[in-house]
Amino acid sequence: MDRSARDRTLQLDLSDKEELDFRMCCKLENKFFTSIHSSFDFYYSNV
């Protein structure tokens, strides 16, 4: 999904600061889950 489409789906009534925090939170969560998934993949592919 391109950035503008994603921004439109995240069109929430937030102040700039809250929106920034929200986006940071999502980014961190995504990074976290991605790293967990890749370590699971790595683990299972080597079992």
Element (H, E) at 27: helix 16-45
- 1-47 pLDDT, tens per residue? 566 655 655 555 557 778 788 778 778 787 888 888 888 888 888 77
**CA 37 to chain centroid:** 13
Model pLDDT, residue 5:
58
Cα–Cα distance for residue pair 45/40, rounded to 1 Å: 8
Model pLDDT, residue 13:
56
For 12, phi then psi, to 5°, come to: -110, 155
Model pLDDT, residue 6:
58
Model pLDDT, residue 31:
85
19 CB-near residues (< 8 Å, 6+ apart): 12
Number of Cβ atoms within 10 Å of the Cβ of 18: 11
Model pLDDT, residue 24:
80
